[in-house]
Amino acid sequence: MNITLIPARIACQSRTAAYGFAAAAVSVLPAWAQEGAEGAADAAPAAAAASDDNLSVGKLIVDAGPIGWCIILLSVVALALIIEAFVSMKRDKLAPPDQIDEIQALFDEGQYQEAMNLCEDEPNYFTRVCAAGIAKIGHEFEVMEKSIEEMGDEESIKLHQKIGWLSLISNVAPMMGLLGTVSGMVSAFNTIATSGGQASPAELASGISVALLTTLFGLIVAIPTSAAFAFLRNRMVRTVIETGAIVEDLFERFRPGHSSNQ
């Protein structure tokens, strides 16, 4: 046998084997691809259904347990308080411009009793503070000024109390979430203890789910409530300062030595 022909024969046999393997792969790969596509098509609806079931709002609320329900109740209360405060604590509600102009005109005409009647008929922050000053007309200016300051402080406290509940809710909600977290982790560890350390992930999932969901709900309630409280507080302080300046200017005529002192 010619030794020089051996490599050529080996190469020819290798090429033949390679061609055979390629042909087999070509014939098998479409079948595998079809099976894979069918499997993916079957798995996709199941995965989507599982995802929809796991992420549904109703299921999250149910899984959160009693503590989660309490946090949701707090969110409803917070929303009602925010809406009420936004409506009732507007600048035009606390110190209506038309009332300011009308009382200013009555003061210019010296009709203090009519101004007092107007304040009593249409009570709000501005008219209550004005009424306190009008009631002391005829006394020393310091007495009148003191009465206005005391009424202003009293009305400011009332306004702050209205939005103070928002501050309370923004502090309580994450604490309740933390309570749910601790409760859920205690439940998970109890499951591990009762199973002798052989608990499966599925058995631990319930307690861990409660722990995470209550924390999530607590933060969802606390963050916007804190922002609303800060906004309403700043708007209230600004309105109180502006109204105080208006009232001070209105009663400045009673200061001794003032050119318009009557």
pLDDT 10s digits, 108-148: 888 999 999 999 998 999 999 999 999 988 888 899 989 99
**Length in residues, the chain:** 262
Q: Is 257 left (phi over 0), alpha (psi -120 to 50) or beta?
A: left
Residue 175 has pLDDT above 90, yes or no: yes
Mean pLDDT of 246-256: 88
Which pLDDT does position 58 carry in this prediction? Answer: 64
Rounded distance, CA 191 to CA 168, Å? 35
* Tens-place pLDDT, residues 48-91: 444 444 556 666 666 667 888 889 899 999 999 999 999 988 88
Residue 30 has pLDDT above 50, yes or no: no
Residue 258 has pLDDT above 70, yes or no: no
Q: Where are the domains of the chain?
A: 1-55, 57-254
Q: 16 or 228, which is more confident?
A: 228
Rounded distance, CA 70 to CA 64, Å? 10
Q: How many CB atoms lie within 10 A of CB 68?
A: 23
Which pLDDT does position 5 carry in this prediction? Answer: 39
Q: 21 or 140, which is more confident?
A: 140
Mean pLDDT of 229-258: 89
pTM for the complete prediction? 0.69
Dihedral angle sign, alpha carbons of residues 132, 133, 137, 139: positive
216-220 long-range Cβ contacts below 8 angstroms, 24+ apart: 216/177, 217/64, 217/68, 217/71, 217/72, 217/75, 217/173, 217/177, 217/180, 218/71, 218/173, 218/174, 218/175, 218/176, 218/177, 218/178, 218/180, 219/173, 219/174, 219/177, 220/75
Residue 18 has pLDDT above 90, yes or no: no
Vertex 201 angle, CA 200 and 203, to 5°: 70
SS3 of residue 137 by DSSP: strand
Q: Which residue from 79, 71, 54, 75 is spatially nearest to 215, judged by alpha carbons?
A: 71
Give exposure, 155-194, as e/b (b: 16+ Cβ within 10 Å): bbeebeebbeebbebbebbbebbebbbebbbebbeebeee
Q: How would residue 199 be classed by pLDDT, with cut points 50, 70 and 90?
A: low
Q: How many CB atoms lie within 10 A of CB 100?
A: 17
Residue 213 has pLDDT above 90, yes or no: no
Q: 5 or 77, which is more confident?
A: 77
Q: How would residue 43 be classed by pLDDT, with cut points 50, 70 and 90?
A: very low
Which pLDDT does position 55 carry in this prediction? Answer: 56
Which pLDDT does position 132 carry in this prediction? Answer: 92
Which pLDDT does position 98 carry in this prediction? Answer: 92
Residue 190 has pLDDT above 70, yes or no: yes
